[in-house]
Structure 1
Amino acid sequence: MSGLRPLLRSAVLLIAVLGITLGAWPGGAAAGPVNWQEVPESSAGRQWWDTGSLRLSRDGELSVLTRFQPASEDRGQLYVMELDCDLQLYRDTSVNGLPRFGAAWQPTGEDDLIRAVLDQACTAGSELLASR
């Protein structure tokens, strides 16, 4: 059974990436090629965000695909994050392709990685936000 767990995890990640690439992203538009932007590494690990995934969510907030790799692990996780750029808040609406319904808004606090993702993605998505 333990041999199936890595295979299942890989399948979930593949489905998440394919779903985003093929247009299953909220808002209906197909995403372009993945274009990872790494934020400065921290003691917690490494994090990237995808410029091609920036969209407005159904609630009018900025949504972005991110990848986080803890410092102590070789594997990372994929997150779909919604960002409230005005209030500097975020929430993870999907983790490794699994939805997190009712995810609560959180401040970035002392998390340098999430703060950097929020800052960079909000800057890159400023035109989208201006059009809402």
Structure 2
Amino acid sequence: MKNGLRRFLRAAVVAVALLAISLAAGPATAWAGPVNWQEVPESPAGRQWWDTGSLRLSRGGELSVLTRFQPASEDQGQLYVMELDCDQGLYRDTSVNGLPRFKAEWQPTGGDSLISDVLDQACAAGTELLASR
């Protein structure tokens, strides 16, 4: 009986997590499909890419983009969904490796050249989207 309950609880947690991710992404967002990674200049911290095909407007009207960060000291990277406030030069990570980060705070790039370059490039590429809001 304990194993059955444990399996049920695991399945429920996975279902709730998937539902939360889909709700956080918004109804018109489709993340599946080929990606078109654009790498920004490497820094001592590592490497970072952003996907041109993932540019969307978030529910709040900000630009949303899928990014990948690989620290210099590691082989594995992490995937982020970032919201960008192009007008104020701020960002927030709304998802890390597919897990939503509810109530993520807006923050400045803090001199991080990787994030600054992603923000600059993605905002430039999303000009038409931002003009339509």
TM range (shorter): 0.7 to 0.9
| Counterpart for residue 26 of structure 2 | 26
CA distance in 2, matches of 1:106, 1:30: 26
| Counterpart for residue 3 of structure 2 | none
Where in structure 1 are there 5+ consecutive unaligned residues?
1-15
| Counterpart for residue 60 of structure 1 | 61
Tell me the SS of whatever aligns to 2:70. strand
**Aligned amino acid, residue 40 of structure 2:** V
| Counterpart for residue 90 of structure 1 | 91
CA distance in 1, matches of 2:26, 2:40: 25
CA distance in 2, matches of 1:27, 1:39: 29
Aligned residues: 112
Counterparts of 1:4-15 in structure 2, within 5 Å, are none
Where in structure 2 are there 5+ consecutive unaligned residues?
1-17
CA distance in 2, matches of 1:50, 1:90: 16
Alignment of 1:37 onto 2:34: no
Superposition RMSD on alpha carbons, in Å? 1.8
CA distance in 2, matches of 1:121, 1:29: 17
**Structure with higher helix content:** 2
CA distance in 2, matches of 1:52, 1:26: 16
CA distance in 1, matches of 2:34, 2:126: 17
Tell me the SS of whatever aligns to 1:123. helix
Describe the superposition over 1:5-53 as per-residue Cα deviations: whole angstroms up to 9, x where unpaired.
Answer: xxxxxxxxxxx9xx89xxx942424345200000000000000000000
Tell me the SS of whatever aligns to 2:49. strand
- TM-score computed with the length of structure 1 as normaliser: 0.80
**Aligned amino acid, residue 88 of structure 1:** G
Alignment of 1:50 onto 2:48: no
| Counterpart for residue 7 of structure 1 | none
Call closer, same or farther: CA 1:29–1:110 in 2, change over 3 Å: closer
Work out the percentage of aligned pairs sharing the same amino acid. Answer: 80
Counterparts of 1:71-110 in structure 2, within 5 Å, are 71-110=72-111
CA distance in 2, matches of 1:81, 1:69: 15
